[in-house]
Amino acid sequence: MDFERARIEDVETRVKSAVERAKEKQEELNAVVSFVDVDSQLADLANKDPHAPLYGMPIVLKDNVNMKGVRTTASSRILDNYIPVYDAHISEKLKEAGAIVIAKSSMDELGMGGTNKNAYTGKVNNPWDTMRISGGSSGGSAVLVASGVVPFAIGTDTGDSVRKPAAYNGIIGMKPTYGRISRYGIIPYASSLDHVGYFTTAIEDAAVALEVLAGRDDRDMTSSYEPVPNYASDINSDIKGKKIAILDNVQEAITNAEIKENFDALMKKLQARGAIVEHVRFDDKLMRAMLPVYYIIANAEATANHSNLDGIRFGMREDGASVEEVMINSRTKGLCPYVRKRFVIGSYSLFEENQEKIFRKAQKVRRLIVEELKKALAGYDIVIASASGMIAPKSEDSQDEHLSKDVLVAENYMVMGNFSGYPSMSMPTGFVEGMPIGINMTAKPFAEQTLFNIGKAIEEETGLKGNDVEVDA
Amino acid sequence: MEAYSAEYFKKLAHDIMFDVSDDEVVELQAEFKELLSQIDVLNEIDTEGVEEMIYPFEAETKFLREDVVANVISQEDALSNAKSVKAGHVHVPKVVK
């Protein structure tokens, strides 16, 4: 469902029916952690301009986004009773724009994972086939958009946590430039990689959403002063002369013939529209290094960020005879085994004797990967590839970031958008075995408009504007 | 203590304030084996003279501001999420016995 379709109903009907749909689908999808009271938000609309961009639009927040007075757990047991006393910057922005938050959505615990199987409330199901995973870590938000519950949901993206679930669920997943959207009031994962992102089903909606969310915030030291353009009114799907680079390392690593054919056919259509489509190749060693670099940096930053989760000032506190025992008991019981293991690995790489050979080495390789991307984008408007080499896997066939000898280049490359901070967007391009598939494109810093313009051209070619399970049914 | 022994991992976990079970230790041992082999993948890449990349953009965006009080929360709010509060403070088990 896109904004246009949502607006067919009056505000109250639209919001109440979104809540109803979310409740009806909860058993099937398990995507909601908490429902949010909409009555007081609807009453507040009386003080808002009816022309506000998201006036009366039902939306969902990932459960790591603070909303004053609303339980925010990050899908972790240790935060199961946490009630924020302040709004995240984006919660304020969305409220100003007239949005109505109907629910907080499930995620991999603290954002750590790519399956959404690591949520305290359990696995989230893919609405196209509930035996399959939603992808993560923003899985709850993704499926609530893909199932037609809401037209817009907030996620966060540290590795590909918006863009991968978007691809698995047949919707648009946007991760803007690092610093474009303030992260103030969002429970962090890895600060040098964390981005706010979001899901929609239409390119115009993605452009409107960014106008609402973007802009400088003094409370986030990484927030950018770059002015916010009129993304929506500036959309132009005339891509004649636009230079598009296919990332060959990814396409060659994909073995699924139908996914390859879908991608190749789309490239031909973009060429027919006048785009110049060529190929780039990154150093294979750097491609293989992406997952270990991510794994080392993300785990190290996460273990430092989450040292405040101790049950003392907030969160679930377990009893103990001393402060130390309270902390140990609270963290042991409050954090799932997957998260605790990652913290051990992160802590290990930060030991003085390991920092140079592990953590700093990863940070140096990160720079080389970013330079490779920068070099490619010097000659092109975007770098493009399939968002995944597979459809959403079945639950039993999926696992979270896990180092293995067979580094899956096609499944891990989107993290280059987090290493670099460059804007990156996934969008649907078709179906394989009844499941959605998609592409991902990355542009130069603050060139979100380029993604929207080329995205619009792709949307016109695929006819998948407003795609969700309800539309397809 | 032998590196990567069960005792070693339990101490690592304890240092960052939690316990790991025996089963979790076995999984950690397997992951560390992989981690060490992946470090070899990184070592194949020449990073001589390359600076660490700490953040995506290295331009400073935070400047000094006037020293005025801003974004303050009340004591009541600050304590509202603590499980145990006494006399306006977060209450914890006695430290000095």
Give the closest of A316, A361, A422 to B42, CB-based. Answer: A361
Q: Is residue A406 part of a domain?
A: no
The confidence score (pLDDT) of residue A404 equals: 56
The confidence score (pLDDT) of residue A325 equals: 97
Token couple for A214: 């973007």
Cβ-based neighbours of A238, under 8 Å, separated by 6 or more? A273, A274, A453, A457
Chain A CB contacts of B5 below 8 Å: none
Length in residues, chain B: 97
Report yes or no: B19 at the A interface, CB cutoff 8 Å: yes
| CATH code, A445 | 3.90.1300.10
- Catalytic residues of A, which ones? 62, 137, 161
The confidence score (pLDDT) of residue A317 equals: 98
Residue type, A418: N
pTM over 0.95: yes
Q: In this structure, are residues A25 and A148 in contact, taking their beta carbons and an 8 Å threshold?
A: no
Scanning every residue of chain B, which has its alpha carbon at the shortest distance from the alpha carbon of A445? B57
Chain A CB contacts of B47 below 8 Å: 361, 364-365, 368
| pLDDT value at A400 more than 80 | no
Chain A CB contacts of B62 below 8 Å: 218, 221
Q: Is residue A134 part of a domain?
A: yes
The confidence score (pLDDT) of residue B59 equals: 73
Q: In this structure, are residues A224 and A193 in contact, taking their beta carbons and an 8 Å threshold?
A: no
Domain ranges of chain B: 6-43
pLDDT tens readout for residues A420-443: 999 999 999 999 999 999 999 999
Phi, psi (deg, nearest 5) at residue A221: -65, -15
Whole-angstrom CA distances from B96 to A322, B90, B92, B93 are 10, 16, 11, 9
> Of A169-173, A252-256, A270-274, A400-404, which gets the smallest average pLDDT?
A400-404
The pLDDT mean for chain A works out to 96
CA distance A224 to chain B (A): 7
Helix H or strand E segment including A62: strand A58-62
Q: Which of residues 68-97 of B touch A (CB under 8 A)?
A: 71, 73, 77-78, 80-84, 90, 92-93, 95
Helices (H), A306-425: 323-334, 337-350, 352-354, 361-378, 409-412, 416-420
User: Is B56 in Cβ contact with A192 (below 8 Å)?
Assistant: yes
| pLDDT value at A451 more than 80 | yes
CA separation for the pair A287, A252 (Å, rounded): 12
User: Is B50 in Cβ contact with A85 (below 8 Å)?
Assistant: no
Chain B CB contacts of A402 below 8 Å: 31, 34
| pLDDT value at A466 more than 70 | yes
3-state helix, strand, coil in chain A (%, to 5): 45, 15, 40
Q: Is residue A287 part of a domain?
A: no
User: Is B41 in Cβ contact with A344 (below 8 Å)?
Assistant: no
CA separation for the pair B73, A204 (Å, rounded): 38
Q: How many domains does chain A have?
A: 1
Q: Is residue A223 part of a domain?
A: yes
CA distance A335 to chain B (A): 9
Chain B CB contacts of A292 below 8 Å: 35, 38-39, 41-42
- Percentage with pLDDT > 70 across chain A: 98
Scanning every residue of chain A, which has its alpha carbon at the shortest distance from the alpha carbon of B49? A364
| pLDDT value at A178 more than 80 | yes
ipTM: 0.94
Report yes or no: B36 at the A interface, CB cutoff 8 Å: no
Which residues of chain B, if any, have pLDDT below 70?
A: 1, 60-62
Q: Is residue A163 part of a domain?
A: yes
CA separation for the pair A330, A313 (Å, rounded): 12
User: Is A420 in Cβ contact with B56 (below 8 Å)?
Assistant: yes
The parent domain of residue A138 ranges over 3-239+424-472
The confidence score (pLDDT) of residue A32 equals: 98
Give the closest of B35, B42, B80 to A85, CB-based. Answer: B80
For residues A133-153, average pLDDT = 98
